[in-house]
Amino acid sequence: MSEYSPHQDWDPRDEAVLDDQRAAYDTMRRRCPVAFSDYMQWSLFRHADVRRVLEDHATFSNAVSRHLSVPNAMNPPEHARFRRLIEPYFAPGPMRDFEPLCRDIADKLVDALPAEGEIEAMADLGQPFALQVQCTFMGWPDELHAPLQDWVTRQQTATLAGDREALIGLAQEFDSVIRGLLEERRLAGAQAPDDVTTRLMRERVDGRTLSDEETISIIRNWTAGELGTISACVGILLRYLAEHTDLQMRLRREPELLPAAIDEILRMDAPLMSNRRIATCPVTLGGRRIEAGERLTVLWGSANRDEAVFGDPDAFRLDRDPDLNLLYGAGIHVCPGAPLARMELRLFLQALLDRTQVLAAVADKPAVRAHFPAGGYSRVWTQVQR
């Protein structure tokens, strides 16, 4: 970190910002599109600046974590070696094999809803769906559902507070749980279940098997992404459809529109708010000089609402260019799990729309926004009629 320390352009932890991140980011995009704060250092609000950073990995390094993060915090050529290992898990074949299991989870959760009445979408659908899908995909027991949800909640709290000590402890806690699962499979030997966790243990890179630390890092990244982001997506989608009954009814009639509709809703309201980069050399963005070693926060929740690219950011359109939507990132670090996430959300909404007649907002219970680093909502009350 250089000694260069500009004044604060904004406070990301101000109560007004946390209460409505979208509105705050919309304002900052117009007022100060490259902004400095003590908490985030340089925040990028415009689509063009975000895209530049994502595609120039030589100037803007992904190696921002203090701990091993495979492959999220890696740069080429190391990143490519691990990326090649990971991508086959989300290829068309494995996704087809997993689809019936994912559909069954979605169907059973929706079938368990009341015939008529209020639900809280995050607790009743979003969180259990994400937990069950992740554990099923990885081959983990149901007993992990509750502790994993508690872990995600505490991790988000520690991240918001900037509590590095707590984050280190949470990483160690997660690692301990996964080490136990790996040891169970080692002890089982040839009788170990043929699941994703076991297959990861047998992967090789540079002619050697992965270390436990590398395997755990991959699993941690997958798990944190799945549990936090998919549950946020469910809340965002339910709230939007409950408030737009015409679209809700159209998607019931034309389910083939679901993939494009889901991506567009999540463009407007980001489930994942940000990622980090670090400058490897002095660079100018938006007229601001950024020194080597300074940290940048890429704000998806702003870039995907940039009027310069999308016009009215709240206008729902099914004919947008999908390459402009940064929902799953861009460049070499585009999310490898995007095929799984898209399949999960499509199957979830298909089950929900097939098994309900009406989804409506609850007038006297407005949705409660989640606070950074989470996107979407912490509470979404919805009236259901089946």
pLDDT of residue 155: 81
- Do the Cβ atoms of 298 and 52 come closer than 8 Å? no
- Single-letter amino acid code for the residue at 208: R
CA angle 226, 231, 233 (to 5 degrees): 100
> Which residues, at least 6 apart from 279, have a Cβ–Cβ distance to it below 8 Å?
59, 60, 61, 290, 291, 292, 293, 294, 295, 296
Tens digit of pLDDT at every position of the chain (386 positions)? 333 446 899 999 999 999 999 999 999 999 999 999 999 999 999 999 999 999 999 999 999 987 889 998 899 999 999 999 999 999 999 999 999 999 999 999 999 999 999 999 999 999 999 999 999 999 999 999 888 888 888 887 887 777 888 988 988 899 999 999 999 999 999 999 999 999 999 999 999 999 999 999 999 999 988 888 999 999 999 999 999 999 999 999 999 999 999 999 999 999 999 999 999 999 999 999 999 999 999 999 999 999 999 999 999 999 999 999 999 999 999 999 999 999 999 999 999 999 999 999 999 999 999 988 889 999 999 999 98
124: its two tokens = 């009743």
Which domains does the chain carry?
15-385 (1.10.630.10)
Three-class DSSP category at 128: helix
